[in-house]
A and B are shown apart, each in its own frame.
Chain A
Amino acid sequence: MTLTSILILIGLAACLGLLGRSRWRLLLLLAVSALAVYALQPALPVRFLDFWLPTATLALTVLGWALTAPPEQRLWRTNGPAAAVLAGVVLLLGLTRLFGLDLPAVGRPPRFLPILLAVTAVAVVTFLLVRLGRARRLWLALGIVFLLVLFLLLKSSPLTALVSAWLRTLNGQSAGLASPLDIRWLGFSYLAFRLLHTFRDRQSGRLPPVSLAEYAVYAIFFPALTAGPIDRIERFVADLRHPRPLDSQGWLEAGRRLTLGLFKKFVLADALGLIALSPANALQVHSAGWAWVLLYAYSFQLYFDFAGYTDMAIGLGRLMGIQLPENFNAPYLKPNLTQFWNNWHMTLTQWMRAYVFNPLTRALRSAGRPLPTAVIILAGQVSTMVLIGLWHGVTWNFAFWGLWHAFGLFVHNRWSEWARPRLTAVSVPWRMALQAGGVLLTFHYVTLGWLLFVLPDPATSWRVLSILIGGA
């Protein structure tokens, strides 16, 4: 996101915040969020895809609601206006082409008829889904599978390139030019995880009843669209229904977070980005010392970039009276890897814990013939961390990165089991030394892990590692 687009979003959020509890607020917030989905989508070389992907984001959101809404929430009277806003945004953007308007930042829409057909199709499917009876459980399961398959298609480069080639052929464009970069679907990773969360909670009966407008604003809330955090719907909707007022306290809190976020992203992260380790410079480095400098720079760039975006999202949310969850809490100052993961991209790890680690551990723990504790811990950590890795992209390096952290977490777990009863009586200076050593060790373990994260393949990571330890 550019500085300009962020300043525009700040202005919009402040206006929405000033509306207070007006009854139009929710629908306006929905309209702004829907427009932002289009405005923030980067331009793509496949024709009209930068219009269709945002449209698909809205369609998935509406269908997600239709699948999960309990009977008392399905009334047309409650949800008609929100449906009209969403359809209206799509159709109005489609109409700009008829009137020859070229909106800045929004991808050029295709002809109007296909758009009209798409909106009608989504409306019909929504209508049918809302009326689902007992088949709902099956459809929820299918919805989860569908999202996971879509996720795989978008996150695995060879598959994405195939999809791109197929789309190009449909469009009459040259399939030979297809590249995985053709399908950069803004915010999909976050959207998918929000929707999966509502599907799973609907299956377990925990999902609170929410209207279409509330569900959609949760899914595509514009401050959290591009870089999270991944909130939980019950918490988000509670704030949405009772927003905190935009009083002077609100301005101060929002202003502080926004300033901090802008500083972290556009000053610290972007400056570090100039010198951070990258696939391009990784193998040009000719000395261990400088290689460490580049790696440290990457480590901090990644943190300030991501934490900066989170600060901005939280600041924007605060302007509108919504307290988004924290995503980072000084992760590089934590004394062990377990603590690091409790404080790095927290909303993703909490999601993974809730829907992967906890159910798996519970199942293994309650199994008829229970496995040894260490095996269960290892299984839980490996599956969770590898999935967190693959969430970033389906590559060997992301999988290895997940394994690196699973291994680290496992070793820390075993160590703390062993050390906890033995280290109770250590003196304060020793404890402080252990703490400081732990922080340094954890930071370096994580930072070495970024070698797998930032570089494209294991061989390159290995070569940079050998440069770091003094081999050439």
Chain B
Amino acid sequence: MDSRSEVRPLAVLWKGVLLFLLVNLLVAAFPPESGTSVSLYNRLFAGRERLPFGETPAQSYNLSLFDLEAMFASHLIAGGPKPAQEYRVILIGDSSVWGTLLRPEETLAGRLNALNLTLCGREARFYNLGYPSLSLTKDLLLLDAAMRYDPDRIIWLTTLESFPLEVQLTSPLVAHNASRLDALMARYDLPFDPADPALERPSLWERTLIGRRRAIADRFRLQAYGVLWSATGVDQAYPLDYPRAQTELEADLSFHGFRPGELQEADLAFEVLEAGFVAAGDTPVLLVNEPMLISRGENSDLRYNFFYPRWAYDDYRQWLAQRAERLGWDYLDLWDLLPDPVHYTNSAIHLTPQAEAVLAETLVPAISQMPCP
């Protein structure tokens, strides 16, 4: 045989390695356009009823990833243009909106949909866009991204724990979406430092295919779990037992390092909240201070619950009410709607399925009273 026609393994090897390196460098130098997320959800698979989040994918058929495009593309809301008879309401907030320990139909959005409301002559359809981490900036990120789905109304539920400046950028979803945050900072003049170490800025190496293998695998896994989501309707692991929300509290008066009287309005991210209202544009926003557990156990004279010393929370409520008044926001303070611990699961803000139904009923008048376009 002609020796030149023989396959030489070493040549195959080094050419393969060279091509691989070349492709990696090209991808790093010219990152592919994000925003062109191919998704099987809403086509082959049912759209998800809440944004993907999950720490135990093998049990929850769901996973946490940071690619907002892929996350939204997997959501029911991306299922197609808004039907003419639909009145679209999006719910923004933390894990209590997303629905930790709740099945999709037991969440606030699920409970509201079950009421079959008619708003402004159209069928109201509520979309759960909550996401489990406490940060107004994370809420703003999602609200801003959700505007393209043409909501008719926004309900934004929040709590003091989302306000401290120090928690704003540590939400993983914010930290891994630094370039999106840059755009938001530029648009709304937010008080953050673009060089904040909490923000993940990928190096050249991290932009190669190898460096991004985790993100690529996550996007693939999100698609794969669409099968199990469609087959089972499960998108969260439901443990049979879990530690209940604390009612016996530590005698601790501090809040994020602030001692009584030290917390100033400027230490809280009200600007981010205001930016959210700007981002909503003409779409009316209903701001809700969400219900929380009010303990009557040990040290409940000092603290309301695991999260809040009484003094800090009282200050916060006052500031929020004043600002809402001043800026003319639709604001509903439901902090003590459901004080009893029986209404909560594993945290002072995670409601039981029954309590979510009560909250939904309570919101109806405020939702119905908002102006129609």
Contact = CB atoms under 8 A, between A and B. Distances in A.
Q: Do chains A and B touch in the complex (CB under 8 A)?
A: yes
Nearest to A274: B224
Interface string B1-20: 00000111100100000000
A293 B7 contact: no
B9 A285 contact: no
B228 A281 contact: yes
A294 B226 CA distance: 12
Given A251-B9, A252-B7, A255-B9, A275 B225 contact: yes
Nearest to A250: B9
Interface in B199-222: 220-221
A286 B225 contact: no
A297 interface: yes
Contact of B233 (A251, A271, A286, A294): A286
Given A251-B9, A252-B7, A294-B227, A271 B220 contact: yes
A290 interface: yes
A182 to B, nearest CB: 22
B232 interface: yes
A91 B225 CA distance: 48
Contacts of A281: 61, 228, 231-232, 234
A280 B59 contact: yes
Interface residues of B, number: 20
A284 B233 CA distance: 8
Interface string A83-97: 000000000000000
A358 B7 CA distance: 45
A252 B7 CA distance: 8
A174 interface: no
Nearest to B45: A290
Contacts of A451: none
Contacts of A252: 7, 9, 12
B224 A286 contact: no
Interface in A277-313: 280-281, 284-287, 290-291, 293-294, 297
Contacts of A285: 231-232
Contact of A290 (B6, B58, B230): B230
A370 B183 CA distance: 87
Given A271-B220, A274-B221, A275-B225, A293 B8 contact: no
Nearest to B231: A290
Interface in B32-61: 57-59, 61
A424 interface: no
A294 B231 contact: yes
A287 B231 contact: yes
B8 A248 contact: yes
Contacts of A291: 231
B225 A274 contact: yes
B55 to A, nearest CB: 16
A271 B224 contact: yes
Nearest to B220: A271
Contacts of A255: 9, 12
Interface in B176-201: none
B232 A286 contact: yes
Given A275-B224, A275-B225, A284 B9 contact: no
Contacts of A275: 224-225, 227-228
A265 B9 CA distance: 23
A291 B9 CA distance: 45
A255 B9 CA distance: 9
30 contacts: A248-B6, A248-B7, A248-B8, A252-B7, A252-B9, A252-B12, A255-B12, A271-B220, A271-B224, A274-B57, A274-B225, A274-B228, A275-B224, A275-B228, A281-B61, A281-B228, A281-B234, A284-B232, A284-B233, A284-B234, A285-B231, A285-B232, A286-B231, A286-B233, A287-B231, A290-B230, A290-B231, A291-B231, A294-B231, A297-B227
In the complex, the 4 A-B pairs of residues with the closest C-beta atoms, listed nearest first: A290-B231, A251-B9, A284-B232, A275-B227
Interface of B: 6-9, 12, 57-59, 61, 220-221, 224-225, 227-228, 230-234
Interface of A: 248, 251-252, 255, 271, 274-275, 280-281, 284-287, 290-291, 293-294, 297
Given A281-B228, A293-B227, 10 more contacts: A248-B6, A252-B9, A255-B9, A275-B225, A280-B58, A280-B59, A281-B61, A281-B232, A290-B232, A294-B228
